[in-house]
Chains A and B, each alone.
Chain A
Amino acid sequence: MSDPAKPEAVLSFPKPSINDDVAFLYEGFDHHELLFQECSTCNTRRFPPTPMCPNCGSLDWSAQKSEGLGSVHSYTVQHHPPIVPYPTPHALLLVDMDEGFRFLAAYAGEMKAISIGMRVSMKFVQLDDELTLPVFEAIANGEGSAR
């Protein structure tokens, strides 16, 4: 048995579990797009992905493209344990997207600048041969102001 106390015994990067409900999201990432669901019956927007609209029960939906702009709802900065393949410390933002849904992703930028309410935009990074992911960046005052 490996020594569980040693950080190198920790973790490798887990391949994401992808099923029919979430596949469109990862396909969107590959095209540098953040997609969210909109119900074709009651027009309610939803995230995370679900097969059925929790508002009206409809199975019909369309994928809508987000502009990638939003405001920080909350955040955490992880200092321990190290989270491969990310650097330490590693910040995560939970963002109120301007389209009315909430989305979590990593933050690329100055940790000390993070605050609740901060405006952010999105860029895409290729994590490995198979996975492209969005990350948030701070945007200067005045740019990308909330609609």
Chain B
Amino acid sequence: MSVSHTKAAAIAGIGATPFSRNSGCSEMSLAVQAITAALKDAGLSVDDVNGLCTFTSDNNAEYEIVRNLGIEQVDFWARAHPGGGGACAPLQLAKMALIAGEASVVVCYRAMNEYSQYRFGKGYGSAQWGTSFPTSDAALKSLHSVHGLRTAAAMLGMTMQRYCHETGATSRDFANVSVAARKHAATNPKAFFFKKPISIEDHQNSKLIAEPFRLLDCCLESDGGVAFVVVSADRVSDTPHTPVWISAASQAVAGRMVPMTNYYVDDITAFAESTAVAETLHRSSGLRPSDIDAAMVYDHFGPTVLPQLERYGFCKRGEGKDFVCGGNIEVGGILPVNTHGGQLGEAYMHGMNGITEAVRQLRGCAINQIENPKNVLVTGALGTTTSAAILSGE
């Protein structure tokens, strides 16, 4: 996309259900509650919606959303694969549909009873991860799962252990990410860990999950729904809030990768897909890392924030451990990260809550508001097919 498309699509509304470990309602109920809230926030009605985007891992079919909300007609829908890595991909899909004229109001949604109904943390082999039909993807996963590699923590632990070996980063360095997230969550009433900050020592004393990851490196597991409304430039005037422009949104698979277990490339900590997305964002938005005022960095595992900060250009390769020290990534620091508490502190929503937090920051209404931000980076998960976006205020 060219620079001229930086003001082609805007997030005009955001909505979410409460985040919990037991929603007490169906995933469809969560989805329509979040979407209804987002449309209300955007000052639009269900009749305005003509496009839908979500993730392949979402269980709420588009036609069911249409029927449940009572939308008359939808002309465009698309899914990003699979969840966390593609966190920002619905933004790209929605923006493309708007530029192409296939839709004018696109609702993006993600709703799941992740904790109460399945729990990804249990690992591959549970119904949500596996398949009995031997697709190439399932056959590839089996090459690892038979040996007992079945959790996301162990899959990325393998990669991050090598990262530690190469950069000298330690578990104590990783603690800075968790401490910052929990500090931000502590003042966020919507966060699961509201009023529950942690210390470096709390992190260091938490139990090992999959080395080098400790419990307090791992994201929450959550029930909830998040939605936002993306509108074309000519519909912005119909909405009440300051528009939040999708200056750029991109996704990538690169370097013959295997998602989550990218073990067969020469350099397993290159994260070439993140570098590719970063370059696309900077090229298509015209914005540099120095133009970014805050970052919502995907934190399925807090330690992965370090290499992401490197790949998105805030520091050099291997310097993430120094960058996250000294409050640099806290509100008031040089690059506030996950000001809502992230998925370590607020909720695990496949990164969608990072997007809504970026919108709040750019509107000036975040609970941990930073001073007059112009551009916020949001990223999808590291170590898999990934995505990211730069969102901008007026």
Contacts and interface: CB of A to CB of B under 8 A. Distances in A.
Interface in A93-144: 94, 101-102, 104-106, 116, 127, 131, 133
Interface size class for chain A?
Answer: 35 or more
A74 B118 CA distance: 30
B168 interface: no
Nearest to A1: B117
A31 interface: no
Given A17-B133, A48-B264, A78 B145 contact: no
Contact of A4 (B122, B159, B207): B122
The A contact surface, by secondary structure, is loop
B147 A105 contact: yes
A15 B149 CA distance: 13
Interface string A72-96: 0111111111010010011010100
A146 to B, nearest CB: 17
B216 to A, nearest CB: 13
Contacts of B103: none
B139 A104 contact: no
A11 B123 contact: yes
A4 B118 contact: yes
B141 interface: yes
The 9 closest A-B pairs by CB, nearest first: A14-B125, A17-B138, A74-B162, A16-B142, A76-B157, A19-B134, A17-B134, A79-B208, A83-B148
A90 B148 contact: yes
Interface of B: 115-119, 121-126, 130-136, 138-151, 153-154, 157-159, 161-162, 165, 207-212, 215, 256, 258, 261, 263-264, 268
B119 to A, nearest CB: 5
A12 B150 CA distance: 11
Interface string A10-50: 11111111110110010000000000000000000001100
Nearest to B256: A54
Given A11-B123, A104-B144, 16 more contacts: A1-B116, A9-B122, A11-B125, A11-B126, A14-B146, A17-B138, A18-B139, A18-B142, A19-B139, A73-B162, A76-B212, A78-B157, A83-B150, A83-B151, A92-B148, A102-B264
A48 B132 contact: no
B139 A22 contact: yes
Contacts of A89: 208
A94 B263 contact: yes
B121 A104 contact: no
B50 to A, nearest CB: 37
Contact of B123 (A16, A81, A92, A116): A81
B263 A80 contact: no
Given A17-B133, A92-B149, A102-B263, A81 B121 contact: yes
Nearest to B264: A102
A77 B210 contact: yes
Contacts of A104: 143-144, 147, 149, 158, 261, 263
Interface string A55-75: 000000000000000000111
22 contacts: A4-B117, A10-B123, A11-B123, A14-B125, A15-B132, A16-B139, A16-B146, A17-B133, A17-B134, A17-B141, A18-B142, A19-B135, A19-B139, A22-B140, A22-B143, A47-B264, A74-B263, A75-B158, A76-B154, A76-B158, A102-B263, A104-B261
Contacts of A10: 122-123, 126
B161 A80 contact: no
B121 A13 contact: no
A72 to B, nearest CB: 10
A48 B139 CA distance: 10
A12 B125 contact: yes
A79 B148 CA distance: 12
Given A17-B142, A75-B158, A92 B147 contact: yes
